[in-house]
Amino acid sequence: MGKGYNAAIASNPYIVGSFACIGGGLFGLDMSSMSGVLNNPAYATVFQNPGSNAQGGIVAAMPAGSLVGALMVTYLGDKIGRKKTVIVSGMIWVVGSILQCAAIDRGMLCVGRVISGIAVGLASAVVPLYQSEVTAPAIRGRLVSFQQWSITWGIMLQYFVEFGCSYINGTASFRIPWGLQMIPAIILSLGMMFFPESPRWLIDHDREEEALEILADLHGGGNQDDELVQLEFEEIKQQVRFERTEGAKSYMDLLKPGILRRVGLGCSMQMWSQLTGMNVMMYYIIYVFEGAGLTGRRANLIADSVQYVLNVVFTIPAIIYIDRWGRRPMLIIGTLLMGFFLFLVGGLQARFGHWGESDSARIWVVTGNQPATNAIIVCSYLFVSSFAITVGPVSWTYPAEIFPMRVRSKAVSIATATNWLFNFALAWAVPPGLSTIAWKTYFIFGTFNFAACIHFFFMFPETAQRTLEEVEDIFAQGHTYSAWAISRDVGKKTVQDIRNAEKARDYNDEKEGSIEKSA
C-alpha cells in the first residue's frame, strides 16, 4: 500500500472497474426504500397518511438532493480527485441513512432523504467518470454498465429486505431497512482506499510518474513498456496538452464549438433515461399494480419483487454485449420497445378501467377482469426488461465517454444533474398524475420514448470500443444530424500513430518558434 492503493487489486480490471459501482447501488437502495413502504400501515401512521402530493414530495426529496450532489462534482471531482469524491459520497450517505431511520415526521424524513440524495448525486456523477478513466477501451462499456446493474441490485435487495420486514408489526418494519442502508456505504468508503486514483486526473495535475505507474498496474501487469499502457499514456498526455492550450477550466468551456454539441447529447441522454418512465415503474410500481386490479398487500409485494428480479437479470446481457452491440442500436431498439409496451398498458387501462377508491384515495382501477390485469402486469414486466437490456446501461456509459478531459468532470456532472432534475420533477408529478389523468400518464411516457428514439437515430454517434481520446475524432467528423454516417473505424490509432503526430506537432512548434526569433 506504499503506492496509496493495492497493486493486486488494480491489476484486475473487473474488480477495479466495478467496486465503485456500490455508489450506484446506493441509488437503487433509496428507490426501493420508498416503493416498499407505500402500502405499509406503520409508515402511513407515523407520517400521517401522506396524500399523492405529499408522497410525491417525500419521494422527490432524494432526487432534489442528488441534483445538488451531481453539481458538487464539478468542484470536488477536479479538486480532490475521483477516488476521494467516491469516499466522501459514502460518508454523506451514512448521515442521511441515520436521519431517515430515526425520522419521526415528514420534515425529518425529507431532510434525511435530501442528505442521502447528495451522496447519490456525487456517486452517480463521479463513479462512471472514474470507471471510464481506469478501464481499457475494449471493456469500458461493460464495466461502466455495472453502474446500472448495481442500481438494479440495490433496488432488489432493499425491496426484499423491506418485504421481509413488512411482517414485523410497528415502525421497525421500515426503520430496520432504512438503517441497514448504511452498510454498503461504509464498505464503499473503506474499500475505495485500496483502489488507485484516475490516471487521467493525475496527468491533468502534473503527476505523470504516478499516472504511468497506475496505468501499468491497471493494463500492463506492472509493465510500463506494455504497448497498451504506452498507447494510453501517450494519448492522455497529448490530449491534456492540447486541451490546456484551449483555455482554462471553466463552465464557459462547455459552450465552445464541438463541446456544446456533446453537452447537449450527454444531458439529453440522461433526460430521456428519466422520461422513458422507468423510474416511475420503480418508485410507484405498487400504485401501477393497484390500478391494474392486483388486490392484497402481499400479492402486490410479490408481483413487485418479480419486476425487480427481471430488472437485475436482464441487465446482465447488456453488460456482456454492450461493447459488441454498440450504443446506438441499444438506444434505438430499447426506446421503440418501451414506447410500445407503455401504449399497451395505457390502452388496456383505458379500455377496461374505471374510477374507484383504494384506502380512501381516488384511483383508476381495473376490476373483475383478470385477463386485463394479467396483461397489464406482463406488459409492465416487458417494459422493465426492455429498459434493463438496452437504455439502462447505456444511459450511464455514453455521457461518461463523450467529453474531452478538460471539461469531463464538469460536463458529466451537468449531464448527471439533468438526470436528477427530471427525476425530481417526475417523482413529484407522477402520483398526482395517476390520480387525475390516470391511464393517459402511460401514453405521455410512451410518446417520450418514441421521441427519444428519433433523437437517438439522427444525432447520437457510436462510441463503442474507442479510447476516450479517439472519441475526439468521432465528433471531428461532424454529421450532427446524420450520426449513422460515422464509420465505426473512425479514430482507431496505434502507438506509432500517436508518436508521429506528437513529433509533427513538436516540429511545427519549433519551426514557428524559429520564425518568431528571426523576425
Domain boundaries, the chain: 1-196, 256-487, 492-518
Q: In 3-state terms, what secondary structure has residue 40?
A: coil
Task: Note the helical H segments in 353-404.
Answer: 370-389, 391-401
Look at residue 279 and tell me whether its pLDDT is greater than 90: no
CA distance 327 to 317: 14
Task: Note the helical H segments in 135-258.
Answer: 137-165, 172-180, 182-191, 199-204, 208-219, 227-244
Return the C-alpha cell found at 268: 439529453
Give pLDDT, residue 301. Answer: 75
Alpha-carbon distances of 171 from 33, 97, 246, 380, rounded to whole Å: 14, 15, 57, 31
Give pLDDT, residue 504. Answer: 66
Could you tell me if 132 and 198 are in contact, meaning their C-beta atoms sit under 8 angstroms apart?
A: no
Note the pLDDT tens digit of each residue in 440-491.
999 999 999 999 999 999 999 998 888 777 888 889 888 889 988 887 777 6
Among 118-127, 289-298, 332-341, the minimum mean pLDDT is found in 289-298
CA distance 120 to 26: 6
Give one DSSP letter per residue of 97-123, joined into a string.
Answer: HHHHHH--SHHHHHHHHHHHHHHHHHH
Alpha-carbon distances of 461 from 119, 314, 486, rounded to whole Å: 31, 25, 7
- Over residues 152-158, the mean pLDDT reads 90
**Cell numbers 463541446 correspond to what residue?**
259
Look at residue 107 and tell me whether its pLDDT is greater than 50: yes
Give pLDDT, residue 248. Answer: 42
Look at residue 502 and tell me whether its pLDDT is greater than 80: no
Alpha-carbon distances of 62 from 13, 48, 115, 119, rounded to whole Å: 32, 20, 8, 10
| Phi, psi dihedrals of residue 361, rounded to the nearest 5° | -110, 140
CA distance 60 to 426: 8
CA distance 244 to 241: 5
> What's the whole-number average pLDDT of the chain?
87
Considering the entire predicted model, what is its pTM?
A: 0.80
- Residue 404's contacts (CB-CB under 8 Å, 6 or more residues apart) are 239, 243, 259, 472
Q: What burial class does residue 431 get, using C-beta atoms within 10 Å of its C-beta: 0-12 exposed, 13-18 middle, 19+ buried?
A: buried
What would the CATH number be for the domain defined by 256-487?
1.20.1250.20
Task: Note the helical H segments in 5-81.
Answer: 7-10, 13-18, 22-35, 41-46, 52-79
Note the pLDDT tens digit of each residue in 350-388.
999 999 876 667 889 999 899 999 999 999 999 999 999
- The radius of gyration of the chain from alpha carbons, rounded to an integer in Å, stands at 24
Architecture of domain 1-196: Up-down Bundle (1.20)
1-196 and 256-487: identical CATH topology: yes
- Over residues 31-50, the mean pLDDT reads 87
Could you tell me if 415 and 267 are in contact, meaning their C-beta atoms sit under 8 angstroms apart?
A: yes
Give pLDDT, residue 348. Answer: 96
Beta pairing, strands 353-358 & 361-366:
antiparallel
